[in-house]
């Protein structure tokens, strides 16, 4: 059994789709209800058993690192005022979990950001969680189950796992889209039927990054959760810029597929795009309503 304990969360994006909100505040720290969006993503990783999280950022993102650090002065002040419960609630990160930050240097794309974590990840296999995507934490267990399922599949099969979910025709151009294997009965252009209660994992033939609708090989979109064999780093080293002039993670996955096993895992539950203004606002309303209802 190959147990994965490391995860990479790329946080170096400028968040141009979230301006002006993201001008002075990293988009990952914008609230969803009463927590910053990245809080749920880190919680999700920890719930699935991750112990070391590497944030890949840049100079303007140090507030994210501070959010996960202990603020000793604030802690002292709260306790001095008898607000121990509030102080305790800020120290929620388990003691056996480490969060490190490394800088990307140049913003050359998602693939380049993941590669920037190599000095800390070393020889470990690892997960990648994109912080723009927040899985719904209010559905029992689903918050941790998708990633836990992918980690277990990787442990059993040694195949890297890419989480996918069915999207509408109007959405395919925003995502990496899976090309299912020849002969797979589910290999239809409309994609598989969405399973609502169980994850499923099966072989994938490749991915197309942000295709137009006519070029989309299915409707199964990469959600932003990956479990990788360490070998992905070697492929990332050799990946050159493509779609959008960026070094795409999707291209390195395609290269990995030609030599090693890569499966897609279908997602259970639903996800929110916190990196796009319209869906962020919808997500905020949903999270706030759920939390207000829980407080009543």
In this structure, the strands spanning 176-180 and 52-57 are unpaired
Backbone angles phi, psi at 10, to 5 degrees: -75, 125
Taking the complex as a whole, how short is the minimal distance between the CB of residue 111 and ligand G1P, in angstroms?
8
Taking the complex as a whole, how short is the minimal distance between the CB of residue 10 and ligand G1P, in angstroms?
8
The angle, 0 to 180 degrees and rounded to 10, between the axes of the packed helices 37-47 and 142-157 is 50
Query: C-alpha 235: how far from its chain's center?
Result: 20
Taking the complex as a whole, how short is the minimal distance between the CB of residue 223 and ligand G1P, in angstroms?
6
Taking the complex as a whole, how short is the minimal distance between the CB of residue 225 and ligand G1P, in angstroms?
9
**Residue number, 101 or 208, with CB nearest to ligand G1P:** 208
Taking the complex as a whole, how short is the minimal distance between the CB of residue 67 and ligand G1P, in angstroms?
21
**Residue number, 154 or 175, with CB nearest to ligand G1P:** 175
**Residue number, 29 or 221, with CB nearest to ligand G1P:** 221
**Residue number, 17 or 51, with CB nearest to ligand G1P:** 17
Residue number with the shortest CB distance to ligand G1P? 176
Taking the complex as a whole, how short is the minimal distance between the CB of residue 136 and ligand G1P, in angstroms?
15
**Residue number, 133 or 150, with CB nearest to ligand G1P:** 133
Structure tokens at 187: 């290999």
**Residue number, 78 or 268, with CB nearest to ligand G1P:** 268
Gap between the Cα atoms of 288 and 293, Å rounded? 8
**Residue number, 114 or 142, with CB nearest to ligand G1P:** 114
Structure tokens at 161: 């796992």
In this structure, the strands spanning 52-57 and 6-10 are parallel
Taking the complex as a whole, how short is the minimal distance between the CB of residue 168 and ligand G1P, in angstroms?
14
Helices then strands, counting H and E runs in the chain, come out as 10, 13
For residue 142, give every residue at least 6 positions away whose Cβ sits within 8 Å of its Cβ, in sequence order, or none: 135, 136, 268, 269
Taking the complex as a whole, how short is the minimal distance between the CB of residue 3 and ligand G1P, in angstroms?
26
β-bridge partners, 161? 227, 263
**Residue number, 93 or 286, with CB nearest to ligand G1P:** 286
Count of positions (residues) in the chain = 296
CA dihedral 227, 233, 237, 239 (to 10 degrees): -20
Q: Shortest CA distance to 162 belongs to which of 239, 223, 229?
A: 223
E strand residue ranges, 48-158? 52-57, 98-103, 126-129, 133-135
| DSSP SS3 for 103 | strand
Applying CB under 6 A, the residues found at the interface with ligand G1P are: 110, 130, 132-133, 175-176, 209, 221-222, 224, 248-250
């Amino acid at each position: 059994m190959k147990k994965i304990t490391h995860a990479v969360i790329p946080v170096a994006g400028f968040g141009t789709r979230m301006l002006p909100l993201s001008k002075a505040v990293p988009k990952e720290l914008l609230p969803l209800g009463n927590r910053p969006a990245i809080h749920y993503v880190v919680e999700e990783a920890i719930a699935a058993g991750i112990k070391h999280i590497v944030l890949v950022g840049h100079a303007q993102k140090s507030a994210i690192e501070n959010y996960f650090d202990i603020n000793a002065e604030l802690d002292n002040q709260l306790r001095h005022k008898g607000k121990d419960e509030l102080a305790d609630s800020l120290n929620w990160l388990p003691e056996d979990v480490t969060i490190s930050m490394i800088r990307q240097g140049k913003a050359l794309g998602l693939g380049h950001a993941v590669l920037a974590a190599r000095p800390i990840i070393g020889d470990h296999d690892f997960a990648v969680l994109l912080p723009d995507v927040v899985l719904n934490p209010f559905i029992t267990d689903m918050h941790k189950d998708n990633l836990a399922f992918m980690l277990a599949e990787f442990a059993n099969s040694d195949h890297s796992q890419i989480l996918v979910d069915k999207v509408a025709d109007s959405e395919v151009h925003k995502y990496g889209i899976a090309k299912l294997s020849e002969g797979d009965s589910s290999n239809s252009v409309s994609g598989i039927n969405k399973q609502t209660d169980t994850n499923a994992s099966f072989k994938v033939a490749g991915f197309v990054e942000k295709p137009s609708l006519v070029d989309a090989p299915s409707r199964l979109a990469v959600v932003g959760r990956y479990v990788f064999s360490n070998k992905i780093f070697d492929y990332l080293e050799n990946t050159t810029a493509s779609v959008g002039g960026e070094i795409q993670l999707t291209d390195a996955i395609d290269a990995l597929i030609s030599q090693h096993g890569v499966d897609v895992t279908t997602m259970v539950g639903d996800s929110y795009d916190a990196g796009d203004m319209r869906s962020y606002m919808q997500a905020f309303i949903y999270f706030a309503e759920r939390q207000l209802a829980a407080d009543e």
